[in-house]
């Protein structure tokens, strides 16, 4: 009777142990599975965020490349414009030699020099308080053949008649180094007008540049 009772007890102990074991194993499997699943979900979320961040970086880098390319494109356009503007100015200066021999638009070089002398003289008179002015004309050695006393007399007569003044123009023995044009200076007065081509280009640079851009890059309609 007692042995039968003991066997039952032992069986019960074994059953309870087995049940507990199953509970432990089931719990462990459940815990393990949950750990792995949670980890997968976290990794997936992190992966999505990572991709978003990398995509943003990628887009920014692509936009940076495109911005740089557009800047380079603008620079290329400016470089071509500057190259052609410089070419136009250089060509104009190179043509001066032709102008001296062949004239320009029906004007001989002497006429052109006369115009520059008259223009400079009038500017000096306008700035001077005195009614009579002794002005001297300074030119380059190369241009010496284009200016003479007769021409200067004619110019001064024109000015005197138009302006009611008494201007006398004379050719200075001094010479300048210049592509062309004149300097007109008051004798004994510190006033001069520099109408050499170089100075005129410098003085008129802004409007010359506007003219160049307007005419050089004008698109002709076909």
Partner 1 sequence: MAVEALKLIREGEEEGRKLMDAEKESAARIIKDAEEEVKRLKEKAREDEKSLAVQISDTYAKEGAEKEKKIVENAEAEAEKRKANAESNLENTVNVLLEKILGLV
Q: Which helix H or strand E contains 181, and what residues bound it?
A: strand 181-186
| Cβ proximity to partner 1, 109 vs 136, nearer residue | 109
| Cβ proximity to partner 1, 13 vs 130, nearer residue | 13
Tell me how far, at minimum, the Cβ of 131 lies from partner 1, in Å: 25
| Cβ proximity to partner 1, 89 vs 171, nearer residue | 89
| DSSP output for 108-147 | -HHHHHHHHHHHHHHHHHHH-S-SEEEEEEEEEGGGGGG-
| Cβ proximity to partner 1, 11 vs 141, nearer residue | 11
Tell me how far, at minimum, the Cβ of 130 lies from partner 1, in Å: 25
Tell me how far, at minimum, the Cβ of 136 lies from partner 1, in Å: 19
Q: How many angstroms separate the CA atoms of 105 and 79, rounded?
A: 32
What residues pair up with 136 in beta bridges, in sequence order?
Answer: 170, 185
Sort 178 into a burial class: Cβ within 10 Å, 0-12 / 13-18 / 19+.
buried
Tell me how far, at minimum, the Cβ of 26 lies from partner 1, in Å: 9
Q: Which helix H or strand E contains 96, and what residues bound it?
A: helix 2-102
């Amino acid at each position: 009777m007692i042995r039968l009772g003991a066997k039952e007890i032992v069986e019960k102990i074994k059953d309870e142990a087995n049940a507990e074991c199953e509970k432990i194993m089931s719990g462990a499997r459940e815990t393990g599975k949950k750990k792995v699943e949670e980890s997968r979900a976290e990794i997936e979320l992190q992966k999505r965020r990572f991709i978003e961040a990398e995509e943003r970086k990628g887009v920014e880098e692509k936009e940076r490349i495109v911005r740089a390319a557009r800047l380079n494109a603008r620079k290329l356009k400016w470089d071509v414009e500057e190259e052609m503007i410089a070419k136009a100015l250089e060509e104009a200066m190179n043509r001066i030699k032709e102008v001296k021999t062949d004239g320009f638009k029906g004007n001989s070089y002497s006429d052109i020099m006369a115009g520059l002398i008259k223009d400079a003289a009038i500017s000096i008179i306008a700035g001077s308080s005195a009614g009579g002015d002794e002005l001297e004309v300074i030119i380059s050695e190369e241009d010496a053949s284009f200016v003479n006393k007769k021409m200067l007399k004619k110019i001064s007569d024109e000015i005197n008649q138009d302006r009611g003044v008494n201007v006398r123009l004379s050719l200075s023995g001094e010479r300048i180094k210049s592509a062309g044009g004149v300097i007109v200076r008051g004798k004994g007065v510190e006033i001069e007008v520099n109408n050499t081509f170089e100075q005129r280009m410098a003085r008129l640079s802004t409007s010359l540049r506007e003219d160049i851009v307007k005419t050089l890059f004008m698109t002709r309609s076909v």
